[in-house]
Amino acid sequence: MFVEKKKSVSIKTAIVFVAILLSVAIVASAVANSKKQENVPAVASTMILGIGQEYDYPVGDNKKTPKFKSLNNDVVTVDKNGKFVAVAKGNAKVKIGKNEITVQVEDAPTGIAFARSEFLLGSGETYKLPLSVDGSDINTGFLFESSDANVLSVGADGTVTGNALGTAKLTVKTYNGLSSACSVAVQNAPESISFPQENTNVFAGEKLKLAPVLPSGSASANITYASDNDAVAKAQGNEIVAVANGTVNITATTFNGKSTTCQITVVEAPYYIRTNLDPNKPMVALSFDDGPNKSTTTMILDALEQNHASATFFMVGNRLQYEGNKECAQRMVKLGCQLGNHTYDHSHYGNDVTAEDISGGIEAIKNATGYEPTAFRPTGGYISDTIKQNSNAPICIWSLDTNDWRHKKDSNKTYDAVMNNVSDGDIILMHDIYESTAEAVTRFVPELVAQGYQVVNIAELAYYKNASFENGQIYYSFR
């Protein structure tokens, strides 16, 4: 009897224990489902759809679909499976489980295009190609496809990965039938990166675009830039914004960690360099030797002033003592032209040029204007070690010789020499002591401006072409 009672109690206890376990399991399952519903992955805090667009909201790996509810069915509807339909332009809140997102309905896109028709990508690199959408701000509803997934794979959001060397076509389509395509060439991951210059100057308030160089056959679509002193210069992509005087190091790093550094010195712009020119437009530098000569140099300065142009004047020092010539040199400074030295008296050439020929020219120009020359041109264009060691300025030759001294009475030949041969980055040689040259200048300067050229001095040309311009170094052009 005792034994039978004990057995009965044991059975009842087991039944109660099983019931408790089932209750715990049910509660745990409910909590888990509640948490899953609460943690539905959000595509974005604000989702932008185009009118008429349908969109299936991703619910991740949830076994139970969360509850969807639109709070404004006039703008967007959503069914129990998470299918959104954009009805009309406007904003609507949509509840997804315990979360809430904003749906913004815009006009349907009218055009779509990749930023370029061709892109380069490093092997192993991941990159999102820039895409422009016309007529709408939608951020969903794109279908991306690669022509060769072995070379280039693409994710649902358009992020591509370079898998192997080769070229693939990437296509994007919108929900309303628009499409665009581009070519993506996958190259080797770079083994190094470098800047063309280790040091360069930029003027306070100006912007400078850096263009690092990778080894041939390699690519990195992602190159990041960092400044070690934002108070001096900030890196905004490859564009450097000069903030204040000082020195800063800008480091560029490829997607696979290769880096290089350029030291940038921020200084105030000198009087002879304008900071409002457009580096993307063609430029040509005018240069004049052997002056000043009051009558003809004045004609040339008038033409420059009237056309917002500039030039470099390589002056012969002893000519500044003649009537009106000193005033011409002072006007050059006032107009923002660059002062150049052409020796003191133009009596020696090549190896015969002495250090005193050069220093005498510097002194005469400084006495007349208050400024030392910032460029030197050797007489006849002949170079010597003495000239390189004592120039005290960049040595400027030329790339376009008008030969105006050969046809002193025919301005048409000088005009034709310029207009028929000029190209972006040229340094043009003329002499401001000839009336025919002055007449040609008054004709071709406005025509060059009308053709889109910016007429500059040599220092400006070097600066806007982002080229070095150092004392004792020789320069022929900045093409």
* Residue 305 CB contacts under 8 Å (≥ 6 apart), including other chains: 335
Contact between 136 and 108 (Cβ < 8 Å): yes
Contact between 246 and 232 (Cβ < 8 Å): yes
Band (pLDDT 50/70/90 cuts) for residue 342 is very high
Q: State residue 44's pLDDT score.
A: 59
Task: Flag whether pLDDT at 18 surpasses 60.
Answer: no
Q: State residue 61's pLDDT score.
A: 64
Task: Flag whether pLDDT at 290 surpasses 90.
Answer: yes
Task: Flag whether pLDDT at 9 surpasses 80.
Answer: no
DSSP string, 381-436: G---HHHHHH--S-EE--SEE--TTT-TT-HHHHHHHHHTT--TT-EEEEETT-HH
Question: What is the C-alpha separation between 291 and 316, in angstroms, rounded?
Answer: 6
Question: What is the C-alpha separation between 65 and 318, in angstroms, rounded?
Answer: 92
Q: State residue 43's pLDDT score.
A: 52
Task: Flag whether pLDDT at 355 surpasses 70.
Answer: yes
Task: Flag whether pLDDT at 171 surpasses 50.
Answer: yes
DSSP string, 289-307: ES---HHHHHHHHHHHHHT
Provide mean pLDDT across the span 358-366: 98
Residue 184 structure tokens? 């993506």
Beta bridge partners of 105: 49, 90
Band (pLDDT 50/70/90 cuts) for residue 137 is confident
Return the amino acid letter for 16: V
Task: Flag whether pLDDT at 32 surpasses 70.
Answer: no
Task: Flag whether pLDDT at 17 surpasses 70.
Answer: no
Return the amino acid letter for 461: L
Provide mean pLDDT across the span 201-205: 89
Task: Flag whether pLDDT at 19 surpasses 50.
Answer: no
Task: Flag whether pLDDT at 154 surpasses 90.
Answer: yes
- Whether the pTM exceeds 0.85: the reply is no
Indicate the range of 95-99, 329-333, 436-440 predicted with least confidence. Answer: 95-99
Band (pLDDT 50/70/90 cuts) for residue 46 is confident
pLDDT exceeding 90 applies to what percent of the chain? 82
Task: Flag whether pLDDT at 315 surpasses 90.
Answer: yes
Q: State residue 45's pLDDT score.
A: 76
- What are the pLDDT digits (tens) for 249-284? 999 999 999 999 999 999 999 999 999 999 999 999
* Residue 18 CB contacts under 8 Å (≥ 6 apart), including other chains: none
Q: State residue 8's pLDDT score.
A: 43
Question: What is the C-alpha separation between 209 and 240, in angstroms, rounded?
Answer: 6
Band (pLDDT 50/70/90 cuts) for residue 72 is very high
Task: Flag whether pLDDT at 37 surpasses 80.
Answer: no
Task: Flag whether pLDDT at 13 surpasses 90.
Answer: no
Q: State residue 54's pLDDT score.
A: 92
Higher pLDDT, 425 or 137: 425
Q: State residue 29's pLDDT score.
A: 41
pLDDT exceeding 70 applies to what percent of the chain? 90
Provide mean pLDDT across the span 462-474: 93
Higher pLDDT, 20 or 179: 179
Average pLDDT, the chain: 90
Compute how many other C-beta atoms are within 10 angstroms of the C-beta atom of residue 312.
27
Task: Flag whether pLDDT at 36 surpasses 60.
Answer: no
Indicate the range of 42-56, 87-101, 108-122, 296-310 predicted with least confidence. Answer: 42-56
Return the amino acid letter for 171: T
